[in-house]
Every structure is written in C-alpha cells, then in structure tokens.
A and B are shown apart, each in its own frame.
Chain A
Amino acid sequence: MAQLPRQQAIGTNIADRLLMSATASGPTYRATPPVEARRSAWLATLRQSAPGMLLVLPAVIFFVVLFIVPVGTMITFSFFLQTKTGDIGTTLTLANYARLASVDLYRTVLFTTIRVSLFTTIGTMILAYPVALVMVRGNQMVARVLAIIVIAPLLVNVVIRTYGWRVILTNSQNGVLNWLLTQLGIEPVRILYTEWAIVIGSIHVFLPLMVLPLAAALGKIDPYVEEAARTLGASSWEVFRKVTLPLSIPGLAVGSTLVFSLTSSSFVAPALLGGNFAKMLGTLVEEQIMSVFDWPFGAAIATVLIVIVLVINFAYIRLVERRFPTRATPVM
C-alpha cells in the first residue's frame, strides 16, 4: 500500500486561527531599543515553535538516523568499486552505472523493467475507468460493493495474491486459464514466466491505486457539463473523449505516478511470475546483493530505482500539477 508524496495543507486554517488569536492577545508594545526588540521577537518565535518542534523531534531523529543517513550512505556506495577481496575501493567511479548500461544482460533487465511498468500503467488505466465511473455515478448499492471489491485486494498479502496468479496462469493443463481455454476449444497458452505474467500480476496488485484517485477526480466533474455536451449533440464517445477524459487527467496522473513507480521497484511479482526468464531490476538487485554480494553494484541498481521514481514524480509535477491547479485529492 503506498500513498502520495504531496503534502496536504494540514491544519493551515486552524494554525492560522491560532496564530491570529495569539497576536490579538499578545503582549502590549512598549518602547524598547531595536536590538532588544529583535531578541524578544526571536524569543517569542522560539517560545511559539518550541512545543511543536518538541513533538516532532523524536520522529525527526528516527527518520534522520534510519532513513536519510542509510539512503545517503547507500547512494555514496554506488560510486565505489568492490575489490576482489570484498573491500570497498577508495576512488570515486561511475563504473557500476556504466556496467548496468553497457552489459547486455543488465540492459535487458532495465528495459524489461521499464516495459513492464509502462504496460502495467496503461493496463490499470484502461481497467480503472469503467470501475471508477460506476463507483462515482453508478447505482449506490453497486458502487458500494464495487468499492469493497477494489479495496479488499489491497489488504491481502502480495505473496498470496501472486500465488493466486501462479495457479491461474500455470503453463500445464493444470492451470485455471488453460483449463478454461481447453473447455472453450482454444489452444492452451504459455504465459507464466513471461513479461505478460508480471504485467497481469502487477495490474492486479496496483489497480486499486489507479481506481481510487481516478474516482476522486471523476467525482469532482459536474455531471451537468457532460449532460450539456450530450444535449448539444455529442455522442457518448465524444463526451468521454472531449469532456470526461480531459477533466479526469489529474486523477489519472496521480494513479500513473504511483503505479509506474511501484511496479518498477517491485520484487514479489517478477520473482514469482517472471522467474529466471523475465528479470526486473527488483530481482536483479536481490541477486546482486544476496547471492553475488556485490554491494556497490547493488547500490547502483537501487539508486537507479530511486532515480526512476524521482523522474516520474518530477514529470508529474511539471506536466500535470502546473496545468491543473486543483488536483485530485490524494487517495491511498
């Protein structure tokens, strides 16, 4: 389960109100020399911010020690080479990144990761639309049931969900899909241990993260706008393409950002559904650190994963947030 990076305007109004009441009943002014005035103003600010700072202090220390420092150290690590004895070299180098980009095997993994993440994102978009539309505008009872069906898988362990897909996609006659196809008189297929298996499994895992922001965005569209387009003679498809779709882009963008970044750094789905035949960066980094013990190279792959997430989020801010100042409310 992942959530959004964007800050909510937590407590802006309340805090402003508090501030206003503080200044209204504040100390009365008297003639003081400028230096003393500045110092007392500084002291007042400190006194005002001290309780809040004290409250967040434990979490800040915790996050600096267990998040910022370790991630920073890991990124630094990726710029060194490991010697044959297992020690870490002393000269800064880009060799680990060059290796990732130049060795065919690793480049394939990089492209597979991007391809799978892209197809998963597109797949979730297509599947999310009808669901989100029904959730927002459909019959209330149906919408409620659908919401539970969409959210429920989020609370089921990823390993369990992926295991379910393994059973369904098994290549032999024992697989559920192949049994169904045989019943329908269609040739059985081999999907397990291909990129498509990872895409199907990932769509299942991340679909809720697309549906929820999309539903939030669709909920904000005034149905009368679409009604008006229809009255003016637009077909259903035109209404969707020219009114609904453009207005829902903020929700779509939030969902895509989440789905793409989470798919690119996933491990369970590629490991269980792709096996050795379709590797992704997540499975490669596990292999490099846990089996090959090449820490610097593993750190470089991990850093690439961070870069992918940063690029996606940056693109989101550049392309969407600026054009659509009222973005979809962050969901999950």
Chain B
Amino acid sequence: MGGSNLGPSGPLLYTAAAVVAVFLLAPLVVPIIISFSDTAFVTFPPKGFTLRWYWKILNEPEFTSSFRFSVMLAVIATLGALLLGTPTAIGLVRYRFPGRGMIQSLVLSPLVFPMLVTGIALLRMFTTVNSQSSLVNLTLGHILVTVPYVVRTVSSSLLLLDPSVEDAARTLGAGRLETFWRVTRPQIMPGLVAGAIFAFVTSFDNYPVSMWLADAVNIPLPLMIFTLTSRFFDPGIAAIATLMILVSVALILIMERVTGLRRAMSM
C-alpha cells in the first residue's frame, strides 16, 4: 500500500497522532529552548539569549569527569557484551543441543527482569564477596544487562545468512575461526553494529543498575545529572540535557543509516 489507507476517520487519526507527537517531543524541546535563557533560574518563556550555561557546564569538573567515566564504562561494557554475546548467538542459532531453549531464555531474561532488582541483587553479591572496585562492579553489571541486545541483533542477522555459505567455506578448507572472520563476520556486520549501539546506549543511559553499584569516585553521568537536578536550579541542567539529546540524535542517525531504524528496533 503506497498511500493513506485509514478510511473515513483519517483526518481525526492524523490529528490525534500529531497531538501525541507534540506530547512526545515536548520534554525534549523545552530544555533546548530554556538552555539559552539569560536568567539565573529556569523559567518559561525564556528571556534573552546566552550561551553561558554551555560554557559553565563544560567547565564543571563534576559533569566532565562523569561524562568521561560513562563513555569509558559504556565502551568496556559494549566490548564485553560483544565478546560474550556473539558466540552465544552463534551457538544458539547454528547448533542444536540439550537445554538450548532454556539457555536462550536465560540470556535474554535481563530484558524483562526489573533492572532495579538486578542492581540490588548484584550489590548484595558484590558486598558479600567483598568486591570493592566500583569500576569492576559497574562493568560486570552493565555487561549483564547489555548482552541480551547483542544476542538478539546478532541472532537476527545470522538467521538471514544461509549457513550453506559457511559450509562451503569449511569444505574449501577454511578453519572454524577463519570461516567466522572471513565469511560470517562481514555478513552479520549490521547485527553486530546494531547490537553495539544498543549495548552502548543501554550502558551509557543506565540508571537502575548503576545507582546501586556506583561510589563517590566513579559516578556515571545519569546519576550525576540526577544529583545536579536537585542542586542546581539554573538553566545549566537544560544545557546538559540539550547536549545529551544531540548525542542521541547522532546515534539515531547512525542507526538509521546502518540498519534502518524500524528494522533495528524490531530485532
């Protein structure tokens, strides 16, 4: 179907959808507008125009150090999730073995399990085994909640790939690793990229696991922003929000280019 197929209530539906779109965009657009306001506190409508809030937050050591820490944490977690999730997806898709269904449910379960509870359980365990490095604890927690995304996206990619291509490579004398690297990997690249983006975003934005595992030294960005919202009442927070929204827009554009947004989301 090319055009509209909404029947007689089309105009009504378009109007309703437009209202919902405004609702969805409002809390993203409002902080952007306010971030340029030349007032000492958040007010609407904004008055004047200034970039000083951006200058202020970029020179705010708490913000910049949390930002750097979150990027580092997300990169490590993404690599961990790819290393752990890719072989798992291959094992689940390409092989048959007893307990396969159960294992598949297990590795996907953090997606539906309340993350807040995952965080509490991890904190309890790390306390019990006396693991005091917040970096290690956060990394392990973030890998746990990002692996499922990699398993899903890589599995979807593998399903699209005809296994006889891999068989052919093997028959022609390539080893298992060589077959993976030279035949499978290039073809499941969209799945790996989508999985990596999901893993990165999930880790970078994570609050409910991080809130239990962070300490006074390593504070992931979402936690820092949360704290700042109750301490600062000037448009500086709005400037932070604007920067974060821009990062998200960039990621959306990358995803749209690599896999197509709707396809990526339905994986």
Q: A17–B96 Cα gap in the complex (Å)?
A: 11
Given known contacts A73-B128, A156-B248, A207-B24, is B30 in contact with A168 (CB within 8 Å)?
A: yes
Partner of B2 from A7, A140, A285 at Cβ < 8 Å: A140
Q: A153–B25 Cα gap in the complex (Å)?
A: 8
Inter-subunit contact A155/B251 (CB<8 Å): yes
Minimum C-beta distance from B18 to chain A (A): 9
State the majority secondary structure of interface residues on B: helix
Bin chain A's interface residue count.
35 or more
Given known contacts A62-B144, A73-B124, is B202 in contact with A134 (CB within 8 Å)?
A: no
Which residues does chain B contribute within 8 Å of A258, judged by CB atoms?
112
Q: Which of A5, A52, A160, A262 lies at the interface centre, i.e. has the most chain B CB atoms within 10 A of its CB? A: A160
Which residue in chain A gives the minimum CB-CB distance to B21?
A: A149
Give residues of chain B (58-105) contacting chain A, Cβ–Cβ below 8 Å: 84-85, 87-88, 90-98, 100-101, 103-105
Which residues does chain A contribute within 8 Å of B10, judged by CB atoms?
138
Q: A59–B229 Cα gap in the complex (Å)?
A: 38
Q: A207–B104 Cα gap in the complex (Å)?
A: 27
Given known contacts A4-B112, A55-B91, A70-B121, is B248 in contact with A332 (CB within 8 Å)?
A: no
Given known contacts A62-B144, A138-B6, A164-B27, is B105 in contact with A5 (CB within 8 Å)?
A: yes
Inter-subunit contact B205/A179 (CB<8 Å): no
Tell yes or no: A239 within 8 A of B by CB.
Answer: yes
Minimum C-beta distance from B181 to chain A (A): 15
Which residue in chain A gives the minimum CB-CB distance to B125?
A: A70
Inter-subunit contact A168/B26 (CB<8 Å): yes
Inter-subunit contact B92/A10 (CB<8 Å): yes
The chain A residues found within 8 Å of chain B, CB to CB, are 1-5, 7-8, 10-11, 14-15, 17-19, 48-56, 58-60, 62-63, 66-71, 73-74, 77, 127, 129-131, 133-134, 137-140, 142, 146-168, 170, 174-176, 179, 204, 207, 212, 216, 223, 226, 230, 236, 239-240, 258, 261-262, 264-268, 271-272, 282, 285-286, 289, 295, 298-299, 302, 305-306, 309, 313, 329, 331-332
